Structure 1
Amino acid sequence: MLNRLLKKKGGFTLIELMIVVAIIGILAAIAIPNFIRFQAKSKQSEAKTNLKAIFTAQKAYFGEKDKYVSDFKVVGFDPEPGNRFSYSINGACNAAQAATPTGRTYTAGCIGQDSARFTQVPTVGAQPLAAGVSGNCPNCDFSAVAVGNVDNDNLADTWGITSSATSATVLQGTCGIDNNSIGGGEPGNAYNDVSCP
């Protein structure tokens, strides 16, 4: 009888279980938003990388011909299939296209997001730059824009790049990472799909 009273019963009390659940809940509340933000940043790297590729291709073409063009095929820019972002160098471009040579509208200065993977076209948040070639070459500049959805809502993450040495006040009134201006050759974010309303 005494052994039975001294013997402790195994298991956890309700309070101990509630404390463990509360700790897990707090950790999840901290970790999940950070994980979503990290995923979005990794998706944004596609836009930054491809805008830098457009910049490099345009600069190489300018070195040979003393002009910029609004035709992706001429400068040799063609993103890999599965692209989440639409790329424009001539006006607005926010479309889903087949990632094939016949499906993409290179000459129109627009390469849409890959329609095989991303069928829903997002609404453009804030336009960072007017895409296209401005001025009379060889004293001209170009601007390119990338628009895509990184968090599966209806608004698009919007990026831009320019050959202009400084594009001051271009990004005013936006809700992105870069709120004031962007330098030539550096991608700038005008509308951050994750942190903007």
Structure 2
Amino acid sequence: MDTHVPEERPSISGHLPSYRLGDRLRVNCSSGPAMPAPHLTWFINGEEVGPHLIRAYQLSVSEYLKSSVLQLVSEVRHNFFRDGIMKLKCTSAIGEKYWQSTETLIGQLGDPRRGTPSQLAGRAGQRYADQQMEVRHNFFRDGIMKLKCTSAIGEKYWQSTETLIGQLGDPRRGTPSQLAGRAGQRYADQQMEVTLQFTA
């Protein structure tokens, strides 16, 4: 059977920035058009959500393509939060040919120890920062770190994207504007061809 994978990650919609315990949570995960329709899965703080909290739908986009929608409906419970933050994750898969995921962070309201909504948002960002890898000296060459990410599905699809990041804190490296200029010059000197490959 022919396979057409979605062109984008699954999307999460319908949620508020923060909830109180006992509030009604109703949030959707939607896939892009595909053939066959992708299989969607919800996770809360890394734990898969049971079938009693979800409702699955399929929407016909064309004669052959369908989008999947997986709705998560539940009363907000205490165990949905860790340190005042709920991490929702949705994955979309078509067998072994396609897999993508999307995450969002939601704050907890109603507990004075948790702080204001803006503080919750800042804490969510800090948790991402705390989980990042420590920047090391060997990450840089001539004051520039080059990050590259590739995406592939067997021999049917391949694409890559890269970005350049400057090193601060070393006076030999120059000012931030000089670093940015140097990064831009390296892009001009070493432009990378992004390749998109499909096979029948």
Give TM-score, length-normalised by structure 1: 0.33
More helix by share: 1
Give TM-score, length-normalised by structure 2: 0.32
